[in-house]
Structure 1
Amino acid sequence: MNGPILAAATFAIAFSLAAPDSTQAAGGAKAASEILGRVSASRIAVISDGDFLAQTYGTAELAPREAGYRDLLTIMSQAENKIVTRSIPISNSVTSAPEILALTKDGRTAFVTERLGERPEGGKRIGDLPPGRRLFAVDLSDSAPRLSATIEIEAFPEALSISPDGESIAVVSNTPEASFVQIVAYRNGRFGHLARFDLADLGVTGSAPAPRGGVTATNVHWHPSGRFLAVNINTQSRVAFFEVIGGDDAPMLRPWGNVVKVGADPFVGRFTPDGRHYLTANWGRNFAATNLEGRIPQTPSTISVRLANPAESHRPARHNLVGAAETDFSSEGIAISPDGRLVATVNMRGTAFPPGSARFHRNASVTLLSFDPATGAISKRADYSFEGVLPEGGAFDRTGDHFLVTVFQGHDGSLPEAGPGLEVFRVEKGDRPTLSRLGRVPLPHGAHHVDLAP
């Protein structure tokens, strides 16, 4: 946010690509090129917030201007035996769920939305940041990323999802008056028709003495068939499902089956690759608390919801809660492997607390879980800790052999290899799957979500 969104220059850094040794165990820090050379992806995209520090949540003070941090979209790709990294300034905010960045399947376009807008001149506190109102499309087809389209949407967007055909973007926003699902058409590098749906008009209401009656939508995700959307209402611990009907330029939504009660504070969620289940990462925050100590919980979990079978159109759709498994403290991001058999959550633990707090943890973690696509059974394998502050987003690569986690910043005095970046793990598959740490790829301050193109 430190500068215009169309700031002129992007920059490129090329790393020499060492020949990967797939049998080498994780040890000390390895060159970023070697680590990324193992990952199966045509492009890796990471979004970074330059306005916030980890302690901003407690102090409300933004990062000092002199730190030089910026809101950036960073793109890493392989070209001629090199890992090439390029970045472009794109307004974004870590105050949303990690789901504000997504790549199209072909890796040619990245979509980003901003919950809070660009920092004004002289802005020093959270309250100085205006509401975010924009959805951005970034063209990645050329050697340098380029902002190709922008559209204004409802204020305070929380999350987005790309339809399987890549031609529609779903976004949820929470204004002071209403929670909205928006569907934006995107073709030939341009945004088209924008359809807005008030969740209250779709039957999702609340009576709490809070904005919108206590309804807050924090996640939207497109079903693999392209026919349905899931929307997480984290303040009510519920997930609502909608069928998308009508043409691409005039879509409509109607409820699909029942709204499902899940675990406390389902901040983010994902459909499984086969479309039979929907999994949520339940943070479990206390929304009535007035300070960080009171709000951050210690009992998150991951929930499996079995979906109705769309083929059984003669029956009313009925979704059921079928499984649960504890993860680790302050679980936020969630990812599912391409084969649907592994689930990973990204857990902040107590890294958000100041070092003097009794609840401070220097290490965050990833929880690896096994999932049975047939039954919906889910079971925890283990927690894998690593040093870093506020890790949030995570993603498996194309083959499911690696898992990548964003780290927002390092601890004061930490070495570069423990600072902001991508923590990369190798997935050891088999009857007893495990994770093995490969190392960290340094990135600009504020990394909070990652997405990969096959």
Structure 2
Amino acid sequence: MKKLSATLGMALLSATVVPAQKPTIEFNARGILALSDGDMAASASVDGKLLKQAGVKDALTVYPLPLKLGQEVGSSPVPNSAFGWTRNATITADGRYAYVIESRAQTSDSLKSVKSIAELPAGSTMYIVDISNMGKPSARKVPIGKNPTAVDMLGNNLLITSEEAGKELRLFEIGAGGLPTRNVPIALNLQNARATDVVWHPDGEFVAITVEETKEIWLFKAKRNAQNKIATFEAFGTPAKITGKPGPGAFTPDGNLFIVSDLKDGAGVSELTVVQFNTTATDPKTAEHKVLSSTAVGIGAESFAISPDGSAIVAANKNASAQPWEGSVGKATLSLLTLAKDGKITKVADYDLDGIAPESVVFDKTGDNLAVSVYEYFDYGNRDGGIEFFKVTKGGTPALTKQLAKISAPKGCYTVKIIP
């Protein structure tokens, strides 16, 4: 027994020589909201095999911060779909309500495979989730247009794009209790095309709307009625065009630049493209919008985040991580880039990421930390998802450092949002 004790003592002593790291999560926010698509494996986007687990459903999960070991988290069975990228949820500025659009409806356990997204049940619902009590989120639903594609909110005005002809854009004015008080359908007069993303400009007078089929990003200006309420939106200038497949976009915090992911139809390395919209033209017809630059990141960059000070961007690259396991899979990565005031993006480095299909990335309130969704891991048995965290080094030599602790999330975790 003495010999064993001596051996253990030596092992513990030697372990202290290795630099230690606290297994805590550093993320400056009241909490994190995550969406998980329980309907399919990540590789279903490649081979159509859903690989559903019996009893696993879509979920909305709320993680209050800081987390403690053994702490229970709040969850609600809110239907959602990873085909909505990370554009299918938004949170009020006070962090009390979340709005989740059902891009595609929940599938039955009997559905084993699909040949295309068109075979998935159509979505038509928005879920209003009260997250004021993070331990017990509660949801109610509101009918919206067919197959909604994106949602964004500024103040009490919420916008949704959908595939419903003649009502491609829908404005909800949100009142007490997080409920809509106005529902204004708006036709964008698109021809054989869909509005796939909508983003508020920080000034609240403009929105950027992406039209995937025409590879265009349009700027629209709000038009108000006699009561100073938004009645419709009208095109402001000619659209900016990109070369490949436009993905999600975002304005810089000061509103001077618009960044959009160019997914290249999955056939090549994605790019982040910088657009400068002219919001000061006196005649909307003459407003010219410019594409300033494009910078390569990784393959399948379906999400990126801009730091609160606008100086850095992090893109999440799926690469070949979501390939069927029968073949050869690759490593997902994060790309760290710097963003100058003139729109120049400079890539700093790529960082390997454990797990499959990181489809969402978000900075915390101070920009000191980063959260990344992981759809699932290379695990046999239960294919759970997760949220991984990185420390952000700022200044002249920016860098990302992986934090030791992570959050285990339901299978199919693909969206993370900060609860301020």
Answer yes or no: same fold by TM over 0.5.
yes
Q: CA contact under 8 A between 1:234 and 1:264: conserved in structure 2?
A: no
Equivalent-residue separation in structure 1 for 2:196 and 2:104 (angstroms): 14
Q: What secondary structure sits across from 1:40 in the alignment?
A: coil
The structure-2 alpha-carbon separation of the partners of 1:221 and 1:331, relative to structure 1 and needing over 3 Å to count, comes to: same
The structure-2 alpha-carbon separation of the partners of 1:27 and 1:338, relative to structure 1 and needing over 3 Å to count, comes to: farther
Q: CA deviation at 1:51?
A: 0.6
Equivalent-residue separation in structure 2 for 1:256 and 1:128 (angstroms): 36
Identity %: 26
Residue 129 of structure 2 is aligned with which of 138, 145, 149? 138
Q: Deviations over 1:177-217 (max 9, x none)?
A: 567111112111212222222322xxx43xxxxxx2xx232
Q: CA deviation at 1:78?
A: 3.1
Q: What secondary structure sits across from 1:431 in the alignment?
A: coil
Q: Deviations over 1:202-255 (max 9, x none)?
A: xx43xxxxxx2xx23221111111111111122322101111121576521101
Equivalent-residue separation in structure 2 for 1:415 and 1:434 (angstroms): 33
Q: What secondary structure sits across from 2:264 in the alignment?
A: coil
What residue is the counterpart of 1:77 in the other structure? 64
What residue is the counterpart of 2:357 in the other structure? 390
Q: Deviations over 1:62-104 (max 9, x none)?
A: 34352x3221111111379786621111000012222111211
Q: CA deviation at 1:55?
A: 2.5
Q: What secondary structure sits across from 1:239 in the alignment?
A: strand
Structure-1-length-normalised TM-score: 0.80
Q: What secondary structure sits across from 2:302 in the alignment?
A: strand
Residue 161 of structure 2 is aligned with which of 162, 172, 176? 172
The structure-2 alpha-carbon separation of the partners of 1:58 and 1:28, relative to structure 1 and needing over 3 Å to count, comes to: farther
Equivalent-residue separation in structure 2 for 1:307 and 1:128 (angstroms): 37
Equivalent-residue separation in structure 2 for 1:341 and 1:80 (angstroms): 29
* Aligned 1:11-410 pairs, distance under 5 A: 31=23, 34-35=24-25, 38-66=26-54, 68-78=55-65, 85-120=73-108, 122-126=110-114, 129-163=120-154, 165=155, 167-175=156-164, 177=165, 180-189=168-177, 190-200=179-189, 204-205=190-191, 212=192, 215-247=193-225, 251-285=231-265, 296-310=266-280, 312-313=281-282, 316-357=286-327, 360-361=329-330, 363-373=331-341, 375-410=342-377
Equivalent-residue separation in structure 2 for 1:452 and 1:151 (angstroms): 23
Q: CA contact under 8 A between 2:85 and 2:414: conserved in structure 1?
A: no
Equivalent-residue separation in structure 2 for 1:79 and 1:96 (angstroms): 29
What residue is the counterpart of 1:448 in the other structure? 414
After TM superposition, the structure 1 stretch with the greater mean CA deviation from structure 2, 134-143 or 77-86, is: 77-86
Structure-2-length-normalised TM-score: 0.87
1:427 aligns with 2:392: yes
Q: Deviations over 1:145-184 (max 9, x none)?
A: 4445422111111111011x1x121111124x56711111
CA RMSD of aligned residues (A): 2.6
Runs of 4 or more above 6 Å deviation: 26-30, 79-83
Equivalent-residue separation in structure 1 for 2:320 and 2:86 (angstroms): 18
- When the two structures are aligned, how many residues end up with a matched partner? 394
| AA in 2 matched with 1:364 | A
Gaps of 5+ in 2: 1-17
Equivalent-residue separation in structure 1 for 2:415 and 2:235 (angstroms): 30
After TM superposition, the structure 1 stretch with the greater mean CA deviation from structure 2, 102-111 or 247-256, is: 247-256
Q: What secondary structure sits across from 1:154 in the alignment?
A: coil
After TM superposition, the structure 1 stretch with the greater mean CA deviation from structure 2, 122-131 or 107-116, is: 122-131
What residue is the counterpart of 1:292 in the other structure? none
| AA in 2 matched with 1:398 | K
Q: CA contact under 8 A between 2:259 and 2:272: conserved in structure 1?
A: yes
Gaps of 5+ in 1: 1-25, 206-211, 286-295
What residue is the counterpart of 1:16 in the other structure? none
Equivalent-residue separation in structure 2 for 1:380 and 1:414 (angstroms): 37
Equivalent-residue separation in structure 1 for 2:316 and 2:243 (angstroms): 17
After TM superposition, the structure 1 stretch with the greater mean CA deviation from structure 2, 242-251 or 375-384, is: 242-251
Q: CA contact under 8 A between 2:59 and 2:76: conserved in structure 1?
A: yes
Q: CA contact under 8 A between 1:263 and 1:303: conserved in structure 2?
A: no
